[in-house]
A and B are shown apart, each in its own frame.
Chain A
């Protein structure tokens, strides 16, 4: 019996003392929607939703940085590029199988993020600037590293994605694999968020001094968050390489990093699934309603401004809160639920 523990006898069995059960609602709902979308809307959505899924893998990792640790990274596009060119190099130059190339992409993304550790002593604006510099340098480095990246001319992949006995060359199969990757990545990141390590990221968002005061090694925690986001971006890049079949440095611009950041903020930074929703809004809706290229280009910055300024919790949390209120106030509401309480039902979307 420890010091504080010994002071208070266990007066009651308390549900709060049990571990939070995993919530499968969000990944199951996402999986169902991904499965139903091509059937309900038509196969035309598949070419739109595959790139969304590939970017979502990166956005899931970014949500951990932005929504939990309060760190802004503008370098996710570069980390995706690292993953993509690594997959291409390992596949084309070394002739490795796709499974190995994808693993190499994941490791490379994590390794480059880990190499940022010396800069993680910087805080706030300066850390964001360091990631922006990474993003700006990446394209130049990729052009200079011609033996690996093919330089400005780019590199073409040889062969399609094949995972064990599964041939992922068809667009529908790739669609399924990409969304499976989103769901698996999201579940893993959500698990981290609900753990003691996730709470150490939360403490960071309040302030480094508070985090240190509860025993968090701040640089290690920041590095862990960056490496997780790097691993996700590496996987995203690897999938992109096999999907697009041709890579050039321009594909991994600062603009791509900003789109990912905007998606996370629009969808909801605290939920690992927020970035997925944000990417659907930013990339699919303009195509679906045919906004035109000029209006499309304005949509991302405008939505970023609107959500950052007026709805910082994002779409997922707003939708969950709104639906929760409707449920409590609606005719089907249970009498006890019609009273607005401050209990667990008020929890934000990330808790679900």
Chain B
């Protein structure tokens, strides 16, 4: 195993079928810390299935996943999260009755250690941990440009703000790799710009990002590498400039050259 593999997220020959329908066929990619990889493809191409397999929600039928040098195939999502793999969902799924900061604190769960007895008795260790977790959550919120919303109830947010807060929740656990499922859906241009800036900053902090997105301008602008999935297989991969003109991509997904 090379030094790179010990630090990266490697997916090799991943297969997954639902009944007789093969949704993923020998899909592979590699994500290194600090790199941004985009995953595009038409609806039904298998993008969400790929994310669900990599994050342990679905068990792949074949293939291997390696996370920071450890075999991650078959591990549970919570175990992978503790190993540094975080994800966001297509829908923000915030707790609407809680404040924004409390929602982001949910994502900082993995950083906490105190037990139930200490929590019930509110021992000093709990208070110290709460302060530390809140600082983490505030930083994650600042990172996505939502620091000013910390005390706002989640139900009062716009769709775009909800998205950004869900990204902050994904970052609050200090992950090494984050898989973002359509983070720009429902965002206006300003919010998309803020999201792109935030994701650049996150990547600059040595965090690897895999972004599933239909917003092609964002993908082409932000990513170091783009994977194109169609019919369950990778039809093209490489730097954005190369991928956008690839004939297979134009045929399978884009329709017309960008």
Contact = CB atoms under 8 A, between A and B. Distances in A.
B32 interface: no
Contacts of A228: 116
B78 interface: yes
B202 A19 contact: no
A192 interface: yes
Given A212-B81, A347-B153, A188 B120 contact: yes
Interface in B183-212: 201-202, 204-207
Interface string A1-42: 011111110110010111110100000000000000000000
Nearest to A197: B119
Taking residues whose C-beta sits less than 8 angstroms from the other chain, chain A's interface range is: 35 or more
Interface string A38-62: 0000000000000000000000000
Given A8-B201, A196-B130, A197-B116, 4 more contacts: A191-B119, A199-B102, A218-B78, A348-B97
Contacts of A213: 55, 77-78, 81, 86-87, 89
Interface stretch (B36-44, B171-179, B237-245): B171-179
B144 to A, nearest CB: 10
Contacts of B77: 209, 212-213
Interface of B: 55-57, 76-78, 81-82, 86-87, 89, 93-95, 97-99, 101-102, 105-110, 112, 114, 116, 119-122, 126-127, 129-131, 133-136, 138-140, 142-143, 147, 150-153, 156, 169, 171-176, 201-202, 204-207
A205 B129 CA distance: 23
B142 A217 contact: no
A286 to B, nearest CB: 31
Q: Which 8 A-B pairs have the closest CB atoms?
A: A215-B110, A19-B130, A195-B119, A212-B77, A196-B112, A215-B81, A7-B205, A188-B120
B67 to A, nearest CB: 14
Nearest to B108: A196
A196 B109 contact: yes
Interface string A217-233: 11000001000100000
Q: Which of A20, A199, A313 has the most CB of B within 10 A?
A: A199
B143 A7 contact: yes
Contacts of B138: 14, 16-17
Given A19-B134, A196-B133, A206 B93 contact: yes
A202 B95 contact: yes
A346 interface: yes
B151 A343 contact: yes
A8 B171 CA distance: 12
29 contacts: A2-B136, A4-B171, A6-B205, A7-B202, A14-B150, A17-B135, A19-B131, A19-B134, A196-B133, A200-B106, A206-B94, A209-B89, A210-B93, A212-B56, A212-B57, A212-B76, A212-B77, A213-B77, A213-B78, A213-B81, A213-B89, A214-B81, A214-B86, A214-B107, A214-B110, A215-B82, A343-B152, A344-B151, A348-B97
